[in-house]
A and B are shown apart, each in its own frame.
Chain A
Amino acid sequence: MNLTTESITVHMGIRGHCAEYFPELPEEFTHQCGVGLTLRQVMVSLGINPLLIMGVVVNGKLAKKDYLLQEGDKVILLSPPTGG
């Protein structure tokens, strides 16, 4: 595997009510990750179970979890309803 020092910065936000099931992440944070990663891969690396994300908004538009992240993306992760 070709190691690279290239990385991109994305802005992440988590919305919804599943917080009890997430790792200790702030509601909003900036994340640096490698180039060419999907959102799903980044979620897994952050310890977020992708099945506990119901929807994804990238730069204000609904997107898939297999979206390929780009420099500067603003990502919002929506958790499913829970608790009831």
Chain B
Amino acid sequence: MKGIHQKILRINLSDKSHRLDCRDEEFYRTWIGGRGMGAKIIYDEVPVDTDPLGPENLLYMSGGPLSGVYAPATGKTSFVCKSPATGGYGDSNVGGHIGPELKYAGYDALIFEGAAAEPTVVVIDDDKITFQSAAYLWGKGTFETEKILKDELGDDFQIAVIGPAGEKLVYIACIQHDFGRQAGRTGVGAVMGSKNLKAFAIRGSKGVPVADAAALLEHGKQAFANCFAKPGFEEWTPMGTAGVTNWVNEIGAFPTRNFYTTYFPEHEKINGEALLERILRTDKGCFACPTPCGKYSSAAGVLKDGTREETFQVLVEGPEYETIALVGGNCEIASIEEVAYANYVMDDLGMDTISGGNIVAFALECLEKGVLSKEQVEGRELRFGDLASVVYLSEIIAKRQGIGDILAEGVKIAAEKFGHNSQHYAIHVKGLEQSGYEGRNAPAMMLAFMTADIGAHHNRAWAITHDIAVGVDVFEGKPEKVVELQHIRPFFDQMGCCRLQWVELGFELENYPDLFNIVTGEKLTWEDMMHISERVYNLTRMFWVKHMPGFGRSWDWPPPRMIEELVPTGPSAGKKISEENLNWLLDRYYEVRGWDKNGIPTPEKLEQLGLSFCLPDLK
């Protein structure tokens, strides 16, 4: 099999050693790469009862066989670990150029094991691995850290860093790469911090072995030409993901005021047009991307903190849609410059803007409802719609100061500690804060959040358009659609490429087996790929079963607000989702998946998917 080196680089931070883990081709055929291989490795190697922030946890990174090859948008890379945010299976993907660089250096995957005694930078220069002190970088923000390393090592190194949030083991810490791309979710940055790994840098000169280079040249060019010719190519790129802001408001699914409502009346101040007209500096593409959604912005404004006023001027990649939704709508920040500034602050601190926006909004609601007192926030008047409040809370969370020490562990744990009914303001599934779509008037999207294998994240199945197309009051057929999408979308994270060309342009799925087979020399059909993807989805489910005592149906339940409170305003006003409907959705979903009524894969299902090794963990 080509497209791979059959080499996984394992770096042990405890004793500063490294070794190659060479697997047979069958391993790659079974798990492909990216999150698939990662799920298998952590399933096998991370023992039950492992503290996600202990040295026994692994931090794995890999793109996949298509990573770094000449085909549209082959720059995606997955991080996989046991998640500190949820305690269950965790992964997070990032674009940019670091996944391809790892392939050029001759490795299919990178695994960090153990923990360094002192803050460390690992430099991977082809076969040469060096460990350097990161003492002089510790405490610095992500932007400064990456810039210092770029200047020291050279422009041709690709670098991943953590910020203060990762150092302080904040459960929503991200890993940042390329000055603005983040593996944001599930606390992968905290795992990196727990290993005392401030940064790693990669440079490779070896390229990717390809089964049929001549065919790749022709098909690669053809694939790009197809993307250029797609109706929508010219229209999609300018605003990037921010372009969906108006639409999500129009359909009444935009998280607003800690998911209190689903329509933000001031959304036109933070939408794609605002980004384009007011702050955009340049597009910033991931590797080989024909439709770069990355927007690099320059935003200026005034930060009013009580009686103090300070001007700000920042350069930041974004804000992209999720940040606009969770920091904009959900914290009611009604200015694109201010959303960009909050985006910059969270990026520099090294925290996920999705969970970050959620936790800030949760804290603001707790203050409003009297769960938290003014004294707990140093006597400050914090409120929705106030940039200084967002910045203050972000900083105390990232640095674990005062009440921030509890908020740093996410809304689920914070609500358990705060009590006073605050779980009603905690918007998460399985402990992962929900991303930027509301499900009270979109049952397929709701089910997608409930059953996503890392918690309430949108990128396992982005089913909301299906809700609108077939009707928001229709339930029939939606569990089937969610399962179908949960196999398609995550498969991109096994191949090592981005899904947006399919999602946005309609670049046909049939292109992917063609490209995959040209690169690898295999003969996979799309059906084979979906079978592999289903295998991985069941394995990640089994990771939860294995690691979380009592795991089952109740873990798939959405936040109480979705069931108990009617959407008060906007196009979805008067809507909520009933327990009866939720139970119907889950019953049908489990049936389609071949899981039992409690949401546990059946032995037959596991055997059918080649997961017999999981059988002992069913007990």
Contact = CB atoms under 8 A, between A and B. Distances in A.
A/B contact in complex, CB under 8 angstroms: yes
Interface of A: 13-21, 27, 49, 51-52, 54-55, 57, 62, 76, 78, 80-84
Nearest to B484: A83
B237 to A, nearest CB: 12
B235 A82 contact: no
B134 interface: no
A81 B465 contact: yes
Which 7 pairs of residues, A with B, have the shortest CB-CB distance?
A82-B465, A17-B506, A15-B232, A21-B469, A54-B247, A84-B503, A15-B231
Contacts of A16: 231-232, 235-236, 504, 506
B488 A83 contact: yes
Contacts of B231: 13-16, 27
Interface string B498-519: 0110111110000000000000
Given A52-B468, A81-B504, A17 B488 contact: no
**Interface of B (DSSP majority class):** helix
B195 interface: no
B247 A55 contact: yes
Interface of B: 231-232, 235-236, 243-244, 246-247, 250-251, 273, 459, 461-462, 465-466, 468-469, 485, 488-489, 499-500, 502-506
B489 to A, nearest CB: 5
A21 B468 CA distance: 10
Contacts of B465: 18, 21, 52, 80-83
28 contacts: A15-B235, A16-B235, A16-B506, A17-B504, A17-B506, A19-B506, A20-B469, A52-B465, A54-B247, A55-B243, A55-B247, A80-B244, A80-B465, A80-B468, A81-B465, A81-B500, A81-B503, A82-B465, A82-B466, A83-B465, A83-B502, A83-B503, A83-B506, A84-B462, A84-B485, A84-B488, A84-B499, A84-B503
A68 to B, nearest CB: 19
A51 B250 contact: yes
A76 B273 CA distance: 17
A50 to B, nearest CB: 9
A62 B147 CA distance: 38
Nearest to B461: A84
